Copies of this chain bind each other. A is one copy, B any other.
Amino acid sequence: MSQILKALDAADQALDASLDRLYEFLRIPSISADSAYEGDCRKAAEWAAATLRDIGFDASPRKTIGHPMVVGHKRTGRPGVPHVLFYGHYDVQPPDPLELWNTKPFEPVRVKGPHGDMIVARGASDDKGQVMTFIEACRAILKTEGELPVDVTIFLEGEEESSSRSLVPFLRENKDELTADFCLVCDTGLWDRDTPAITTMLRGIVYEEVIIKAASRDLHSGMYGGAAQNPIRVLSKILAALHDEDGRVTLPGFYDGVKDLPAQVKAEWEALGFDGEAFLGEVGLKVPAGETGRTVLEQITVRPTCDVNGITGGYQGEGAKTVIAAQASAKVSFRLVAGQEPAKVQAAFRDFVTRSLPADCKAEFLSHGASAAIAVPTDSPPLAKARAALAEEWGRTAPVIGSGGSIPVVGDMQRILGIDSLLIGFALEDDQIHSPNEKYELRSFHKGIRSWVRILHALAK
């Protein structure tokens, strides 16, 4: 039995124990966006470091200005061996709205799904489940071989879901320790249940919060209604004006530098047979709501967008309150593609809001992140090796694809550490990440571990 097969066998045998460890990780409510969970974020970092030490890594949590980072090393000691940096994150999205969960978000359960067993919990897919596929692959190899095929540094962040404010300073301050030959990023998905994928295009993001203020206090709408400026009305008008009738974003200069997808890539994608209607149908939708004349796949991966992610103002409780609120606010994010400059988009948005304000209103802004889109080379030797390893595990070639989400760390590592990333993950579109009842399929977890066993060996060749 080859070393790879022995390690795969060990991974198979240990699957229940691997799941137990994942459950432990999932039970820690490491919600980075909410400061009430600061202690839990620290606990999750400590848990991850201890788990890495348990399998032989030299690992520890590292203090930052925000939530801690986790860094762990496992070197072969052999010269000339490639050095791989693995990136993931231990923080999770807030679980609200809680009432829509069928089980408690931080009490993971294994349930039967239409495609086999699933692990249901906040973070099951994004990103604790994915992170654990890599750690459990290392565990299986270390158990059967005593060492890893390549030098590995594991680097876990705790602020990925909340703007990563410590990331850039940390990368700068620890550049020597973190620099490797390339990075593996495990925060992406399969093409479909049976087909792996390697992501090479990622949208960037500009995430803004805008607060519109009018009167110095909340007013009674009976007494002031008709004469007083209403910030919710002002905000609604501004948000409504961000798109035109064709679903295009109206900010001046927004599409500057945005290129159409090359005809060849478009043709390849058409060959993949992406079913836009089915994709939308799974979440109860039918008609693409984006730019007229673009396919769903284009709309969600290679076209820039604008979405309002949250809005709040006035009375939101049960029943009625006849109030004119003193302020109203919205969280607005722009997904960016190659060619767009985050700073320009941010400035255009703020300028658009400010110029739209009527008398007596003012706007305040908070930035919750700004990062450019990413394009990773598609012809690198590590990518070819990983693709071959994935083909062995899945029996299918992994297409090179674009992703609609933002993974700013890929750009940060390009810029600061000077290294490119291979983006490989095992999530599925219907994993409900960022939503109630988030799940990770047992098959994703199991075949994810097996895929990494094969990839780590392939990268050594």
Contacts and interface: CB of A to CB of B under 8 A. Distances in A.
A220 interface: yes
Interface stretch (A15-23, A309-317, A346-354): A309-317
Given A285-B215, A320-B369, A300 B227 contact: yes
Interface string A217-231: 111111111111110
A374 to B, nearest CB: 13
Contacts of A94: 315, 317, 321
Given A228-B280, A236-B240, A299-B227, A222 B285 contact: no
Interface string A281-313: 001111111110000100110010101111111
B324 A33 contact: no
B214 A285 contact: yes
Contacts of A279: 227
Interface string A236-257: 1101111100000000000000
Nearest to A93: B321
A316 B310 contact: yes
B309 A323 contact: yes
Chain A interface size, under 10 / 10 to 19 / 20 to 34 / 35 or more? 35 or more
B404 A226 contact: yes
Nearest to A162: B319
Interface stretch (A70-78, A430-438, A446-454): A430-438
Contacts of A207: 320, 322
Nearest to A214: B285
A335 to B, nearest CB: 5
B434 A307 contact: no
Contact of A235 (B161, B236, B287, B312): B236
A294 B436 CA distance: 49
A242 B232 CA distance: 12
Contact of A311 (B33, B162, B328): B328
Q: How often does this chain occur in the complex, in copies? A: 2
B303 A331 contact: no
A112 interface: no
A216 interface: yes
Nearest to A239: B236
Nearest to A405: B222
A359 B286 contact: yes
A437 B217 CA distance: 10
A310 B233 CA distance: 10
Given A214-B284, A309-B322, 17 more contacts: A94-B321, A220-B434, A222-B335, A224-B283, A227-B276, A228-B283, A232-B239, A232-B330, A233-B242, A233-B307, A236-B240, A287-B358, A289-B359, A311-B311, A319-B368, A321-B331, A322-B406
30 contacts: A34-B319, A96-B317, A97-B218, A100-B217, A161-B320, A162-B319, A205-B222, A215-B283, A217-B284, A220-B434, A223-B433, A224-B283, A224-B404, A226-B303, A226-B305, A227-B290, A230-B307, A232-B308, A232-B330, A233-B307, A236-B240, A287-B360, A309-B314, A309-B321, A311-B313, A311-B316, A311-B328, A315-B331, A322-B405, A323-B435
